[in-house]
Amino acid sequence: MSTLRSPLRRRTVLAGGTAAGAGAAALVATTPAGAAPSAAGPGGTAYFRHGVASGDPEPDRVVIWTRVTPTAASTPGSGKGPKIDVGWEVSRDRSFSSTVRRGTFATSASRDHTVKLDVGGLKPATWYFYRFRYRGSVSRVGRMRTAPAAGSSPGHLRFGVVSCANLQAGWFTAYRGLAKRDDLHAVLHLGDYLYEYGPGQYGYGSDNVDIRKHQPAHEMVSLADYRQRHAQYKRDADLQDLHAKYPWIITWDDHEVTNDQWEAGAENHTAGGGQGGEGNYLQRRARAHRAYDEWMPVRMDATAALGDGARLYRRLTFGTLAEISMLDLRTYRDEQVRTAAPTPVPALEAEVSDPDRTLLGRRQMRWLKESLSRQRPQWKIIGNPVMIAPVTFAAVPQDLLTPINDVTGLLPDDGLPYNVDQWDGYTDDRREVLAHIRDHQIKDALFVTGDIHSGWACELPYDVGADPVVGDSAGVEFVCSSVTSNNLKDITGTPSRTTSVAVEQVIMANNQHIKYLNFDDHGFSVLDVTAKRAQMDWFIIGDRADKQTTVRHTASFATRTGTGKVISVDRPVR
């Protein structure tokens, strides 16, 4: 969960293809040297083994993506294979009788034969279909939707919400559940799209048994490692289906590079060479970011001149109803506070509240406050990789502190009220954000969060000690559960809704701004936003080791416009 600054120059260029109108010439693709691959992957031909994807919808443009395997030797991360031209086209209909944009895109081993381009010239609030061609073969068809026009007032917006998908820990049933829906506009992925660990290092439950084993069969460190792991995840049929069904809006957390990363290092990185060494951290992060840029349907701003080569925080506007500001809470943060005993409580309190320490970095902090202050969007939705609501665990039984720690992040052994990998470890940044909301009388701030493998609905109090009935709230936070990554039930090995229920009750009793907490279940959420309210529905799956397990609704909470309060709702949105 952390990160750092690197001299990486971006090698992935969105505008690498040529776009033309509907009357353009037929799609062209060069014929590569070498034999064609022989094995087809799920959802596509032998050339298009990794599916298709779209992302970052704007009113007139959407990013589209695929990966081509032009020869048998051109496997992900191999660095092998010819330079090729891949055709692409976008249509108003699935049969492609109403093509509106088409062109070719040049790709090669230097970008792992990925294809990513920003298709413009589209109409707002419109469904489109897209596909790719290479050497006479056609990819599966993807579907995408543009955002509403800038001045429009959509009746509602509906997003799937997911995070923390560890392939070794189970099947991606949550993705399957969302892909079966026909009522979404996009999918929000809030981080930990993939995990860095090797087989046996982090899997199904406390014994780390692997339901599926990671490839390559070791922790990813090199550029080839990161490319291969991205490729493995994108061979999953449920993930491919969800990417093909809707555009995604994505940010990263820590495992896209390595666990608990910060600006200049990470908990799960051993610097130096030799036995057990993983090299220079800046170089490792640069490789991870490069592979992420190549393999994900996301705009990464190369013009921001931030010195890191990979600006991921960005805004996406959906008419006057909502604007989504996706945060990057790894690349610019200071190192997490060390909480090991015998750190005195006053020293710990002083360090987590030190105004010289930052979670966002100063540039991103200014940008976030600008996002919150923008007048036209009613709902200020913040795509938030780690939890902002304050949480104290002081009254939790001692024998449960370690398993809770494994789920939620870093906790000191004596149960002090700090999860220092989250906003609780950078309280001056939180104070600055909440003070900005209060001082500018900003309404309808909604933080949507991943990371902690559990479901939460919280108010954001200016004063944690205030009476929650009468106290003011800066906004609301909804936290989605994990797709597969271990939760409290998995780590303790206890049956569902047994040990966790007592823990949840203690935490909620000590944090009355927390209105919902579920430590036990995996799944996805659906966020529905109207002018009157924003509602989050939590859906849970059965055993993540069962590929055919079921999906069911478990809880719904909402916030009415202008209130900053959380209320329980009887049923999910229809």
Task: List pLDDT tens digits, range 180-205.
Answer: 999 999 999 999 999 999 999 999 99
Element (H, E) at 410: none
- Pair (81, 206) in one structural domain: no
Task: List pLDDT tens digits, range 399-412.
Answer: 666 666 666 553 44
- Pair (272, 412) in one structural domain: yes
In a domain, 152, yes or no: no
- Pair (130, 166) in one structural domain: no
The sign of the CA dihedral 338, 423, 315, 438 is negative
Q: What is the pLDDT of residue 499?
A: 83
Beta strands in 197-313 (DSSP E): 248-250, 261-262, 265-266
In a domain, 8, yes or no: no
- Pair (72, 94) in one structural domain: yes
Cα separations in angstroms, 354 against 62, 298, 392, 427: 41, 34, 19, 8
Q: Could you give the number of structural domains in the chain?
A: 2
Of 86, 113, 145, the residue at which a domain comes to its end is 145
Q: Is the peptide bond before 461 cis (omega within 30 degrees of 0)?
A: no
In a domain, 5, yes or no: no
In a domain, 3, yes or no: no
Q: Given strand 379-384, what is the order of strands in its sheet?
A: 314-318, 322-326, 379-384, 445-449, 473-479, 455-461, 514-518
Task: List pLDDT tens digits, range 239-286.
Answer: 999 999 999 999 999 999 999 999 999 999 999 887 778 999 999 999
- Pair (135, 246) in one structural domain: no
Instruction: Tell me the CB-side half-sphere exposure of residue 163, using CA atoms within 13 A.
Output: 30
Of 145, 177, 204, the residue at which a domain comes to its end is 145
| CB contact at 8 A, 541 and 549 | yes
- Pair (86, 168) in one structural domain: no
Name 338's bridge partners: none
- Pair (253, 121) in one structural domain: no
- Pair (128, 238) in one structural domain: no
CATH of the domain at 125: 2.60.40.380
- CB count in 10 Å sphere of residue 413: 12
- Pair (432, 351) in one structural domain: yes
CATH of the domain at 163: 3.60.21.70
Q: Give which of 461, 489, 481 is closest to 537, Cα–Cα.
A: 481
In a domain, 60, yes or no: yes
| CB contact at 8 A, 447 and 460 | yes
In a domain, 535, yes or no: yes
Residue 523's domain comprises 157-568
String of DSSP letters for 159-225: EEEE----GGG---HHHHHHHT-S--SEEEE-S-SS--PPTTTS-BTTTTB-SS--SSSS---SHHH
In a domain, 263, yes or no: yes
In a domain, 355, yes or no: yes
Alpha-carbon distance of 50 to 236, in angstroms, equals 8
- Pair (423, 285) in one structural domain: yes
What is the mean pLDDT, run by run of 10 residues, along the chain of 574 residues?
A: 30 36 31 42 73 98 98 98 98 97 98 98 98 97 98 97 98 98 98 98 93 98 98 98 98 98 96 86 96 95 50 96 98 89 73 94 97 95 97 68 60 52 94 97 98 97 70 94 95 86 88 95 98 98 97 98 97 94
- Pair (105, 182) in one structural domain: no
Beta strands in 390-451 (DSSP E): 445-449
Backbone angles phi, psi at 291, to 5 degrees: -65, -40
Of 92, 118, 145, the residue at which a domain comes to its end is 145
- Pair (186, 128) in one structural domain: no
